[in-house]
Structure formats: C-alpha cells, structure tokens
A and B are shown apart, each in its own frame.
Chain A
Amino acid sequence: MGEFRQARWSEPLIFSIGASGRKGYSFPSIKDTSKSALCEIPENLRRRRLPDLPEVSEVEVVKHFTRLSQMNFGVDNGLYPLGSCTMKYNPKMNDAIASLDEVRWIHPLQPEETLQGMLEVMYKLGLWLCEITGMHKFSLQPAAGANGEFTGILIIRAYHRIRGELEKRREIIVPDSAHGTNPASASMGGFEVVTVPSDESGCIDIEALKEAVSQRTAGLMLTNPNTLGIFEERIREIEEIIHDSGGLLYYDGANMNAILGKTRPGDMGFDIVHLNLHKTFSTPHGGGGPGAGPVGVKEHLKDFLPVPLVEYDGKKYYLNYDVPHSIGKVKGFYCNFDVLVRAFAYILTVGAEGLKSISEISVLNANYLASKISDIRGFEVPYGRGKPRKHEFVVSCSRLRSETGISAKNVAKRLLDYGVHAPTIYFPPIVDEALMIEPTESASIEELDEFVRAMEAISKEAYENPEKVLKAPHNTSVGPIDEVKASHPRTLCLSWRMYKRKFMKESVKP
C-alpha cells in the first residue's frame, strides 16, 4: 500500500499576510443614488470604523486559498465513508447545470411568467420525490435536513392544534439510535422528548415503545433503516401502535439511500417525510451553507405545508400561497434552487432503474465492508448479528480498546494517515467505541479493498505498536490537536477578533 501524504504548508492566517494599502480589487465609486440610500441607514446601525479586513494582493489571495485547498480532504480526492452523514460523489455534470446562466441569474422577485422553467423544475422534482417516497405533496422550502425535521415537527404541532389536542399531546418519541437532530427538532417545536431503547436485534424495543406511548404522544420520529443500518422489520406494528394512540409518524429520510425503488416510507405508514438531498441525490453537503431538506406529507397533512407551494394549472406553473392551515414559511423565498436543480439533474440522468441500482450497490458495498472488517482482530459488528445491513453499518472497537488501549477515535485518526476520511465515531451512542461506516455506491471495489487493508494494518499496529496509532495522524496537513485547549472556553478561538483578544491581548473596539 503506497504511503499517503497530505500537502502541508505552513500557511499563516490571511490576516498575517500582505501589507497596509495592498489590494487586489478596486471597487467602482459609489454613485449618488446609492449614497443617498446609505444615508437612510439609522445612525445606531452604522459602523464607526472600517472593518478590520486583510490587505492583500490578488496573487497572495490565490496562493493562500490554493494552498488551503491542497491541505483539504473531500469526496473528490479520497474515500469518504462517513456513516449517517452520507457524502457521496457529486457528479460534475450537475455542477455544470447549476452553473448555467439560466440558473445562476434568476431572481426570486422576478414575475412568475419569466420563471416558468425554474418553477417547472421545482414542480417536477416535487412529483418525483412523491413517487420515490410514497407521499402526496412535497414542499421544497426547507434549507437543510434539520430544517426539514423542524418543518415536520411544526406540521405535527399544527395538526394536533387544529384537532384541539395540542394541550394534551406534548411528547415526541424517538429511538435511542435516532439522529441527534431528532430530539433537538422536537425540543425546538416545544415538545418533550421520550427516548426508547433498542433491543438486541438493533431495532426499537416494542415493549418499551408501548410503555412510552400514551394520550400524550404527538408523534414518533424514526429512520428506517435505522442508524445501525438495520431495517425495522416490525415497522407495521410500530405504525399501528403510534396511529392507534392518535400520534403521527415522522420519517427521517437520512437513510433513504438504502431503499430507493425498493420500498417507500409512504407504504410503511409514515405521514411526514424529509429528505436530505445531499445524502441521497448527490448534491453537495450543505454543512451550514446552502442545502435542501424537502418535506413531503400524506394527503391529510397537505394543508399544513409551508407556503408557497409550486402548482401547475394545466397551462402555467405558479406559486400558491393559499394553503388553509399552512405553518407559514420556514425559510426566506422558495428554496435553495441551485441545490435542488442538481438533485433534479441527478434523478433525470440516472433514471428510475438507475436509482434502484444506486441502492443495490450501496447496500452491497456496505455488506461487503461489514463482512471484511468484522473478520479483523479487535473489530466486530454488534446488534442483530448475522443480519444483513442496509446502506451502512456500525463497527465496535470495544475489544480492540480493552486489549490494546486503542479507541475508536484513535482508529479514526490513524485512518487519515492511510488516505481515508474518518468514519463517524461514537454514534449511535448505543454502540460502544463505535465506527459508523457508509461507503455509498460511489466507492469502487478497489477502494473498498484498500480501506479493508488500512483497517487490517491499524489492527496490527494496535496490537504491536500502539504508540504509532495513539499519536496519529502523522501524514496529514495538521497533526493531533489539544482537544481540551481547543474547546475550553478560555482558549476556544473561533475568529481573528477572538484570537487578538485572547492571545495578543489587544483590546477590541466595538
């Protein structure tokens, strides 16, 4: 296996580069009209002094960011087996389409009749997502998965309020293997969160679920397959328990990549679904930037969706603000269109059969890796032993740790030295020393085998030369950091301004 080495520049912060007066761009002079507009900004909102921006030439900027990008790691330059936070390869063609002038230069305040193409894309994407998930109507507005979850929770709230039961229905149930954002979204919606444990097979403990369900239940949030990569076999029973109690079923679509064209949340009985377009439909991961988490609902919840909805009257596409019980808006304007257009292009290029084989290959890849890795000394795949996994699986390093002192985190950091991005670690919390691995359909067999060889090498090192693993990573652009210092309130440093205040002892003027 060839030695991996990441670029390592001792690149200073951009604030330390350049010199006073240096610039790479000259702004056009402010015209009289905009000057008068500036005058309308209230006195108390105006800056008193110029912002403290770096003064650098164009060459300095280009060199700086090129170097930083060389020190970066992403889906374009290595395996990215990040379970639960799926990162699959983003086809370049979709970027090209998103870069078309027709996409880039549209404005949300343009008259509808000049936006027919954009609206058609949104309308059709909504229909396709309905078909894929078994839902009846989609809103493309939510800007991210968690935003979608929050939208779903607001719909659950609105539904119970209309029925006069909101006072009573205060609880949202989530399994202990749920995504961390599920309880967060439920809390933000004002609900109490009741966590139910998983049983040995890695599925929801039905007895515990029955205990948790009551007249107070507003709904259940579930991912299927769950974060262990296991399909909830008793989903029908779960659905009955929740619906019989008067609650709604919410599907966290994070793991949709496993079931495309095979089964649908709608057919499993879910009332609300959100999809992370970056996880399943190959759009770039939002990571705080523009993302998309469309929300779909069954017929009986259509009237609660955010406005506007995109509709078609047989002649033209239009924005419909007339939704009787709408929860309102969950984001400015309509959606992050440049993300949606990539998903649209993706579905269009791979087609229905293509979507099916995406799930088949991603499931096959996950099971191939799971079987290979569980044979390596110190690693095992707990819960539901022998059961096939879907798109992802969770390895426990607990034996490795008790025998060698090497933890899941150490393994993850050492993987970086082999040119593999670290898997998700310590999630879900129900697995001790968890490494959560999702290769997706993007990885080739050669890449998977290389990953297995890296895991074998790390296991060998752990037993023979643990020091090497403990001090990893060695070959990356940045070595291990002092975690306590990095997160301690006294030393935590998130901006140049904080840095100056804390470490250069400079007083910062407001």
Chain B
Amino acid sequence: MKKLGFIVNPIAGMGGAVGLKGTDGEETLRKAIALGAKPIAPVRAKIFLSHLKKILGEVHLLAAAGKMGEEEAKEIRFECTTIGEAKDETSPNDTKKVAKMMVKEKMNLLVFCGGDGTARDIMDVIGLKLPVLGVPTGVKMHSAVFALNPEAAAYVAAKFLSSGLPLREAEVMDVDEEAFRQGRLSAKLYGYMLVPYEAEYIQGVKMPSFRSRSELRNQAAIAVYVIEKVLQPDVIYILGPGTTTRTIADLLDQKKTLLGVDLLLNKKIIAKDVNEKEILKHIEGRKAKIIVTPIGGQGFIFGRGNQQISPDVIRKVGVRNIIVISTRGKIENLKDLRVDTGDPQLDEELRGEIEVIVDYNQKVIMPVR
C-alpha cells in the first residue's frame, strides 16, 4: 500500500484574518490569538482528508501526532499511524522533527497544510528527496508548491498515489513578514521541492503522445534555443534566478547560482550572485539584456525573488531587452505574467503583451498585468 505522510501546521493562517500578514514568530501568534484569530489549518486539513477518503480507495496515512495531523484524521475517522509525540504548542522545530521521522518511513508523498513558512521548514528537511504537496492554509502563499485548494490537493494526491503524475521542481518562496507588515513586499526564493502536477491540464490530445513533457528536457530545449539563436556577442545577459535560467549556464559548462542573479558575457559567467549596485556597475556603458523566468506560482517576472534586477537596472537595460523564458508546464498554469518592481510607472510600461520562449523555436504571447 502507498504511504502518505501528513503534517499540519495548526497555527498557519491565523495571522491573516486579523490583518497580521503572517504568523511567523511566537509574539505574532500571541497577538493573533489576542485579536481573536481562530485556527484555519485544521479545518482545511479535514477538507483535504475527507476528499481524499472519498476518491482514493486505499492509502497508508502517516499523520504527525496530536494537532499536527493525528487529531484531524481521527475526527473524520481516517485510519492512520501516528508519528512523533503530541504537543500542546507547536513550533517550526516540531514540523522539522516530524518531517525527519517521516523521511525514514519511506513515504511516497508528503502532504503538508500550511503556508510559505511551513513550506520552508519542510524544504529544509526534505529538499528534493521526495515528492511534496502543499495544502494552502497559510497567510502568505507565494511558493509554487501549493495546490489551488484542499479539494484540488486531494485530487492531485489521489492521482499521484493511484496512477502517478509527473514531478516538477517548484519554487519555495517567502516574504519578509516584518517588511510586509510595514507595507513593503520583499519576496525571497529559498529553494525548490519536487511537486506532482496534473499533466492532463496541459496535454493536447493532438500532440504526439510520446513527446516528453518532462521539465528537464523542456528546459534543455529552451536553453539550446537561447544559446543558438538569442545570445549575441558582447552583450551582458543578466540571468535571473531559477532552474530554467540555470540550464542555459549548465549547457555552456558554466556554474550559475540557483537563487541568485548572475551575469553572462560571451557565454561565460562573469559575476555571480550580484546585487543591484554590482549589476549597474557591470552594465555601465554596455549593451545588456535581461533573461528571466516567471517565479513562484503567480507568474511574477519581476519583484519576487529577483529584486536585484531593480527598476534602475530594468530602465538601463530597456524594456525591449527583456527575454522571458519558461517551461510549458509552468506557463500553461498561468493566465498572465505579473510585475511588481516597486516603481509603479515602470510597472505600467512593462504591462501589455510579451513574448515568452517556451521551447526550441516556440514562443507564446502572454499578457503582463
């Protein structure tokens, strides 16, 4: 029987309804409770489990003890094995601890209920070791590891466990809550987890059925296209973060940082993990272009996880010199691309339609909002 790990962060989401923009840190939680916040995660966890029960015949559920999964499962009579010890108050360390214990159980999939903070904790332990799926219950959900809602999560989990689904590397993002509370949104890209995704959504039946949809091949095809037909000599390319942009460097036998912004000139990386100032210094008086891939589940091309590419940088480079690349799997789940550079006037200039390279010789026109 397939094993499904299940971890609930019981406090995730509590800060949201009372306007705290997150529930990270003990003090915030106390504030939230004082403001009358009610637990959200357990309710959504139960919705997920009851849907799963309805559509998936057999599964061995490994639930984290107490409020972190066991109680939710018991309430709806979902049989489970308990992992770890129950506690009254939980912290990120408890999430990590129980995740570690679950890895040893050799699960087929780990489902967690929480937000970006929980995703980060899970990622710290799991990394790319096994497939993970998030049930969105948090305040901040910039990461691409979440299903649309608990019902959709149940569907994807059931499908993955019963007949299998392809996996893709999805971004784990988080915003600085302190800055967020003060009205500034500063999202950081923390890393990637392996997430099953529903290929049916993107599969046209008239496509040759054996064409590989694997992200890796798609990324390689995009990279080859960029190298063969896009890169020009003596132009500095500002490579945004992400595995799709990294593949370009990989195929040029160059090492690119995964989460940072690197500079490419004449097929060589000339500077790694650069900040805004360094970028401006390098491109001073030279021709430069930007290569970015949409970040997170929401399709931001600027302003999430790549703030180094600042409004100043974009203006110096010129809005016509932005090259957007994206795997099909990512683009076909997005209705539009978004920008949030922090400069409303620049955002306005960036809006409209933009070409996105999605495969070798294949581009898609996408609206930018």
Contacts and interface: CB of A to CB of B under 8 A. Distances in A.
B104 interface: no
B206 A197 contact: no
A496 to B, nearest CB: 19
Interface string B51-70: 10011010000000000000
A483 interface: yes
A197 B367 contact: yes
Given A211-B353, A405-B154, A192 B365 contact: no
A192 B367 contact: no
A86 B29 CA distance: 60
A402 B151 contact: yes
Contacts of A194: 355, 363-365
Interface string A154-194: 00000000000000000100001001110110010001111
Contacts of A402: 149, 151-152
Interface string B22-66: 000000000000000000000000000001001101000000000
Nearest to A492: B210
Contact of B364 (A176, A405, A482): A176
Given A208-B367, A405-B158, A426-B203, A195 B362 contact: yes
Contacts of A483: 163-164
A427 B352 CA distance: 27
B78 interface: no
A429 B54 contact: no
Contacts of B361: 187, 191-193
Contacts of B367: 197, 208
Contact of B204 (A405, A429, A487): A429
Contacts of B57: 467
Given A429-B203, A470-B55, A187 B365 contact: no
A180 B207 contact: yes
A484 B161 CA distance: 11
A427 B363 contact: no
Given A195-B363, A405-B158, A428 B204 contact: yes
A179 B355 CA distance: 21
B284 to A, nearest CB: 31
Interface string A193-231: 111110000000001100110000000000000000000
Contact of A211 (B54, B204, B332, B352): B352
A195 B201 contact: no
Contact of B362 (A181, A183, A207, A429): A183
A432 interface: yes
B285 interface: no
B230 to A, nearest CB: 11
Nearest to A482: B163
B214 to A, nearest CB: 11
A84 interface: yes
A84 B206 contact: yes
B54 A405 contact: yes
A401 B155 contact: yes
B172 to A, nearest CB: 26
B366 A427 contact: no
B208 interface: yes
Interface residues of B, number: 35
Given A197-B365, A402-B152, A483-B164, A180 B353 contact: no
A466 interface: yes
Given A193-B361, A195-B362, A208-B353, A424 B155 contact: no
A170 to B, nearest CB: 9
A180 B163 contact: no
B202 A429 contact: yes
A194 B366 CA distance: 11
Interface string A427-448: 1110010000000000000000
A266 B282 CA distance: 55
A183 B360 CA distance: 12
Nearest to B57: A467
Nearest to B363: A194
B148 to A, nearest CB: 9
B1 interface: no
Interface in A480-495: 482-484, 487
Contact of B363 (A192, A401, A409): A192
Given A195-B365, A402-B151, A405-B151, A429 B332 contact: yes
Contacts of A487: 209-210
A466 B206 contact: no
Nearest to A82: B205
Contacts of A425: 200, 205
Nearest to B332: A429
Contacts of A193: 361-363
Nearest to B362: A193
Nearest to A481: B163
A482 B159 CA distance: 12
A196 B362 CA distance: 11
Interface in B180-215: 200-210
A407 B154 CA distance: 13
A484 B163 contact: yes
Contacts of B358: 195
A180 B204 contact: yes
A197 B355 CA distance: 11
Interface in A82-112: 84-85
Given A194-B355, A208-B353, A405-B51, A427 B365 contact: no
A187 B362 CA distance: 8
A207 B353 CA distance: 8
B111 to A, nearest CB: 16
Nearest to A195: B364
Contacts of B355: 194, 212
Nearest to A407: B200
Nearest to A192: B361
A407 B202 CA distance: 14
B201 A429 contact: yes
Contacts of B206: 84-85, 179-181, 427
Nearest to A175: B365
A424 B203 CA distance: 12
B75 to A, nearest CB: 21
Most buried by A among B154, B158, B355, B358: B355
A427 B155 contact: no
Contacts of B353: 207-208, 211-212
Nearest to A410: B55
Q: Which 5 A-B pairs have the closest CB atoms?
A: A180-B206, A484-B164, A211-B353, A405-B55, A195-B364
Interface of B: 51, 54-55, 57, 149, 151-152, 154-155, 158, 163-164, 200-210, 332, 352-353, 355, 358, 361-367
Interface of A: 84-85, 171, 176, 179-181, 183-184, 187, 191-197, 207-208, 211-212, 401-402, 405, 407-409, 424-429, 432, 466-467, 470, 482-484, 487
Given A208-B353, A212-B365, 7 more contacts: A180-B205, A192-B363, A196-B365, A197-B364, A402-B152, A405-B54, A427-B205
